[in-house]
A and B are shown apart, each in its own frame.
Chain A
Amino acid sequence: MLDNLPLILSSLAAGVPPTVFAAVGGIALTIALSAVAGLALLSRHRAVRAVSRVYVEFFRGTSEVVQLFWIFFVLPALVGYQIVPLAAGIVVLGLNHGAYGAEIVRGAVRSVPRAQYDACTALSLSPWDRMRRVVLPQAVVEMLPSFTNLFIQLLKSTALLSLVVVDEIVRRGQLLVPNLGVGEKLTIYLVELLLYLGLAVLVTSGMRLLERRAAARVGRPPTAARSGFATGVAM
């Protein structure tokens, strides 16, 4: 049953770079969109808030698979130009998770106590300095744990790119399945699952490091110690 293990391992391992590339690209885009849309949700201008709200509700309200298919199949029909699948995937991962991230950013900024704003007023700090020097540094500490969970979700979502023929881990597996014997499907999928678990542990440990540093910067102990090894669930 394990005769083909080396083949399975090497085939699936070849899918890791595209998966990682999609995840890293998606995470980068998520961070940028979360920041922009999240701050826009807090804008004084009604129109700015409205635009951001529409973006957030639209991407949170529809299915990621639909968004992916739309960019992959509909957009080319409209603009007559086919986007590289991996690029289309990164765009969808970023747009989708950025909408969730925007709410995290909004919530974290709003969680900074009113008293901190009062102190800024008492020191005559400008609204810009207040946001950049006082509010955001405190909000970041608040938002990091939620972003850890969001990034794990994004990592899992990269598997959907197999549906638009990106050669990532799952699609490599799908190409193997018909060629190998009956008993080896389980091996293939188990290796896939373990690869994702490994990547998730990497994401989580990296984020934990950031969380600890950020918490220390505002003189707080790190957010409640969590025992979960990958997603940080306390149980």
Chain B
Amino acid sequence: MPVEPMVVLDGVHKRYGDTAVLSGLDLRVERGEHVTLIGPSGSGKTTILRLLMGLEAVDAGTIHVGGRCLTHMRRRGAVVPADEKHARAVRRTIGMVFQQFNLFPNMTVLGNLIEAPVRVLGMSEAEATRRAAELLELVGLTDKTHERPTRLSGGQQQRVAIARALAMRPEVLLLDEVTSALDPELVAGVLRLLRLIGESSDITILCVTHEIGFARDFADRVLMFDGGSIVEDGPPERLLVEPRVPRTKEFLAAVLEGR
């Protein structure tokens, strides 16, 4: 029996006002797969992550995560749009790291890490603190445990944000341009951490990035987006080296020239 894909998007439509961002997108991501989404800004990559995280609602189509439907639910035999409670239950298996970190400034680093495990997963504070200590060791910030997030560098904040997402033991991790807001010298540390996580866990990862080098050695698969649809889909060693679609070629040339 074939294993069900971890993430399934079927005919997803999304528009903001008059502009269609996604029109009828289909996508399958296998369990444990690392997928990198590249493409010009406004091509719909980030929208996919936001739809998966439930930060936006689909206009049409369905999304399944881990075999459960995120966008719809059954009520008295009929299929209806998911309500907040249903969506929250499905989302619990998904974690996200944002471009701007979005740490809670009113809590310490430790507070940020234990907040959701305690309040959402119902973990004891002692247990959550123990887990948080492990994660902070993993991201190399043990000495910042009781620091305020605003006192950390951008790179440190992003490592805390990654730890915070991992603290929820997600099955799917969404990375939304996590290095775009960082000073160049801080990017390498964050990427190293992500590689480590990718190698040492079986988390399914969807990653929007402009770091082509990172995409090459991190991803199992690269998706090239343009105008709200996937124009090319393939393994990084092929797609990034010998793109078949002209649009991909142009994009890669432009990105590589920019550095």
**Which chain A residues have a beta carbon within 8 Å of chain B's beta carbons?**
115-116, 118-119, 121-127, 129, 133-134, 137-138, 141, 217-220
A141: which B residues are within 8 A, CB to CB?
Answer: 106
CB-nearest residue of chain A to B91: A124
Interface SS of A by simple majority: helix
A218 and B105: CB pair below 8 A?
yes
How many angstroms from the CA of A124 to the CA of B165 in the assembled complex?
Answer: 11
Output the residue of A123, A129, A137, A141 with the most chain B CB within 10 A.
Answer: A123
B53 partner residues in chain A, CB cutoff 8 A = 118, 121-122
Say yes or no: B55 contacts A129, CB within 8 Å.
no
Given contacts A122-B102, A122-B174, 4 further A-B contacts (CB under 8 A): A129-B119, A129-B120, A133-B107, A137-B106
Chain A residues in 8 Å Cβ range of B96: 118, 122
A contact residues around B92 at 8 Å (CB): 124
Determine if B105 and A219 form an interchain contact, defined as CB atoms under 8 angstroms apart. yes
- The minimal Cβ–Cβ distance linking A122 to chain B, given in whole angstroms, is 4
Chain A residues lying within 8 Å of B94, measured Cβ to Cβ, are 122
Cβ of B120 and Cβ of A121 under 8 Å apart? no
Within 8 Å by CB of B120, from A119, A124, A134, A137, lies A124
Hey, which chain B residues are within 8 Å of A122, CB to CB?
A: 53, 55, 91, 94-96, 98, 102, 165, 174
Partner of A118, one of B55, B106, B168: B55
Which of B54, B115, B149, B174 contacts A219, CB < 8 Å?
Answer: B149
Sample of 24 A–B contacts (CB below 8 Å):
A118-B53, A118-B98, A119-B103, A119-B104, A121-B54, A121-B91, A122-B55, A122-B91, A122-B94, A123-B116, A123-B120, A124-B88, A124-B116, A125-B120, A126-B119, A133-B104, A133-B107, A134-B104, A138-B105, A138-B106, A218-B106, A218-B150, A219-B105, A219-B151
B116 cross-chain contacts in A, Cβ below 8 A: 123-125
Report chain A residues within 8 Å CB of B84: 127
| A residues less than 8 Å from B31 (CB atoms) | none
Cα A51 to Cα B91 with chains together (Å):
35
Contacts of A137 in B (CB 8 A): 106
Residues of B within 8 A of A129 (CB): 119-120
The answer, yes or no, to whether B129 is at the interface (CB within 8 Å) is: no
CA distance A125 to B53 in the complex (A): 13
Which residues of B sit under 8 angstroms from A127, Cβ to Cβ? 84
CB distance from A188 to the nearest CB of B (A): 48
Q: Would you give the shortest CB distance from B199 to chain A, in whole angstroms?
A: 23
In the complex, the answer to whether A134 meets B55 with C-beta atoms within 8 Å is no
* Chain B residues near A217 (CB-CB < 8 A): 106
Contacts of A125 in B (CB 8 A): 115-116, 119-120
Q: Are A126 and B148 in contact (CB under 8 A)?
A: no
